């Protein structure tokens, strides 16, 4: 099947206030020249630490922040240039599920009104039909019909996220962006919500962009994974390649911190700690952005940014030390535990 979403060279920058020369504008490049595609019915996970640009990239795809450069095509149609009714149509095709079911639902609205809201603003269906759709969505996400009349505070955290999911489904979108959809929930509830998302994906033929800081959460949830660091994609591969042969030192470190990942693999590798925090995003390192924290950095990494290139079919990686042999540079510094 073809690509539902095709993102090319997307960049988003924010003007930030800094002291310094009067009149000179300073920008934070939250998303810096990223490209990826997602096939219809599949899930691309975007993973990375806080501040890596995951949410900003997703907001730009949904036209909720302005892209500075680049192209976003949905089913082959460029959506960044759309205005008016054409933009409204496109908005129906892309919906968001947010991290925090507590703050993303209006506390004064009944659950049925919350779920109906996107239909009210984005579709012209008659009221009776909207009511029928809402009732169907409550059932689809595992809520009882009588719960439609309740207010958000009368639901548990997991149930509130089910309301958020029902709301996202209301306009029958093709693409759903799940931004940390389970990180505010207890572990047991997380599994239920992830199972629900998977079931709905099959039932409604959905394509997901699934954002998480945790590789553990996406290991059962994604067809492919893009790892972001300071606005850049540093590695992108199908799920099996990424988990079995992570090539970027940053991915290796993220993976070694996931307790539930393949025990045999973990036993063979030491836990890799990433020292320190990411550098100031307004003044990123001029070479590889990971250079200040990378355990295998070399002199050239300081000066030359590594391009993202394909080293195996479908496996893209931005590191000077990885070539077509596709061997992780961490292998040289890792001894069995």
Ligand X SMILES: Nc1ncnc2c1ncn2[C@@H]1O[C@H](COP(=O)(O)OP(=O)(O)OP(=O)(O)O)[C@@H](O)[C@H]1O
Q: Which tokens hold the place of 124? A: 């012209």
> For residues 300-329, which are near ligand SF4 according to CB under 6 A?
301, 306, 319-321, 329
Q: Is 48 in the site for ligand SF4 (CB under 6 A)?
A: no
Q: In whole angstroms, how far apart are CA 266 and each of 227, 252, 255, 300, 314?
A: 20, 11, 9, 30, 24
Given candidates 32, 54, 166, 174, which one binds ligand X under the rule CB under 6 A?
A: 54
| Rounded distance between C-alpha atoms, residue 56 and residue 242, angstroms | 23
Among positions 21-80, residues that touch Mg ion (CB under 5 A) are 55
Applying CB under 6 A, what is the total number of residues that bind ligand X? Answer: 14
Q: Are 21 and 35 in contact (CB under 8 A)?
A: no
Instruction: Tell me how crowded residue 48 is: count the other CB atoms within 10 A of its CB.
Output: 26
221 sits near ligand X (criterion: CB under 6 A): no
Q: Would you state the structure tokens that stand for residue 242, as one six-digit string?
A: 């990424």
| Residue 284 interacts with ligand X (CB under 6 A): yes or no | no
Where does this chain touch ligand X (CB under 6 A) — which range of 45-53, 132-140, 195-203, 238-246? 45-53
285 part of the interface to ligand SF4, by CB under 6 A:
no
What H or E segment, with its residue span, contains residue 16? strand 3-16
CB of 315 to Mg ion, least distance (A): 25
What HEC string does 255-319 produce?
A: HHCCCCCCHHHHHCCCCCCCCCCCCCCCCCCCCCCCCCCCCCCCHHHHHCCCCCEEEECCEEECC
1 strand-pairing partners: none
67 touches ligand SF4 (CB under 6 A): no
Please report, as residue ranges, which positions from 14 to 33 form the binding site for ligand X (by CB under 6 A).
Answer: 14, 16, 28, 30
Our CB check for ligand SF4 shows the closer of 213 and 320 to be 320
213 binds, among Mg ion, ligand SF4, ligand X, none (CB under 5 to 8 A by kind): ligand X
Binding site for ligand SF4 (CB under 6 A): 248-249, 288, 290-291, 294, 296-298, 301, 306, 319-321, 329
In the complex, which residues of this chain contact Mg ion (CB under 5 A)? 55
């Amino acid at each position: 099947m073809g690509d539902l979403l095709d993102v090319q060279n997307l960049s988003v920058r924010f003007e930030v206030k800094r002291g310094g020369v009067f009149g000179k504008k300073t920008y934070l490049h939250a998303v810096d020249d990223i490209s990826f595609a997602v096939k219809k019915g599949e899930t691309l996970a975007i993973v990375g630490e806080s501040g890596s640009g995951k949410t900003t990239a997703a907001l730009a795809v949904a036209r909720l922040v302005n892209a500075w450069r680049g192209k976003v095509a949905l089913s082959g149609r460029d959506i960044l240039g759309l205005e008016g009714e054409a933009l409204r149509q496109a908005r129906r095709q892309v919906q968001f599920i947010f991290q925090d079911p507590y703050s993303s639902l209006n506390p004064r609205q009944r659950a049925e009104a919350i779920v109906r809201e996107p239909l009210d603003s984005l579709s012209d269906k008659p009221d009776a039909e909207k009511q029928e759709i809402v009732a169907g969505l409550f059932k689809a996400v595992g809520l009882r019909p009588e719960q439609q009349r309740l207010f958000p505070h009368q639901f548990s955290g997991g149930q509130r996220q089910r309301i958020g999911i029902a709301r996202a489904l209301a306009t029958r979108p093709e693409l759903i962006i799940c931004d940390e959809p389970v990180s505010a929930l207890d572990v047991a509830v997380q599994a239920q919500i992830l199972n629900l998302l998977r079931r709905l994906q099959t039932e409604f033929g959905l394509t997901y962009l699934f954002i998480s800081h945790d590789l553990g959460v996406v290991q059962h949830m994604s067809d492919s994974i893009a790892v972001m660091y300071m606005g850049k994609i540093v590695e992108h591969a199908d799920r099996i390649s990424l988990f079995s042969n992570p090539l970027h030192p940053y991915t290796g470190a993220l993976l070694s911190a996931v307790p539930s990942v393949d025990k045999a693999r973990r036993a063979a590798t030491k836990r890799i700690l990433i020292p320190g925090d990411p550098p100031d995003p307004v003044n990123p390192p001029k070479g590889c952005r990971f250079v200040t924290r990378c355990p295998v950095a070399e002199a050239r990494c300081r000066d030359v940014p590594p391009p993202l290139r394909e080293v195996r079919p479908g496996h893209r990686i931005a590191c000077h030390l990885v070539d077509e042999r596709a061997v992780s540079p961490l292998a040289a510094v890792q001894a069995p535990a």
